[in-house]
Amino acid sequence: MERKSFQLGDFVQMKKQHPCGSNEMEIIRMGMDIRIKCVGCKHSVLIPRAKFEKNMKKVLRSAEDSTES
């Protein structure tokens, strides 16, 4: 199984949506744990990397796409 590629500043879609109704999250910290921030209500959550990789559906907007413009 191929590892999912993501980086700091990416906007990702999660399998389950946040209680506010949004399922779009921004990666704001990376390490053994990953901190993601809800785009809808700006609430941030710290989750283990393994759980994040399992629950991430896809990268919606990459951070390098927005810096190249």
The residue among 28, 33, 32 whose CA lies nearest residue 43 is 28
Q: Torsions phi, psi of 68, nearest 5? A: -75, -25
6-52 pLDDT, tens digit per residue, is 899 999 999 998 899 888 999 999 999 999 999 999 999 999 999 99
Helix then strand count (H, E) for the chain reads 2, 5
Q: What is the mean pLDDT of residues 52-63?
A: 89
Higher pLDDT, 25 or 61: 25
| Spatial distance between the Cα atoms of 5 and 27, rounded to a whole number of angstroms | 12
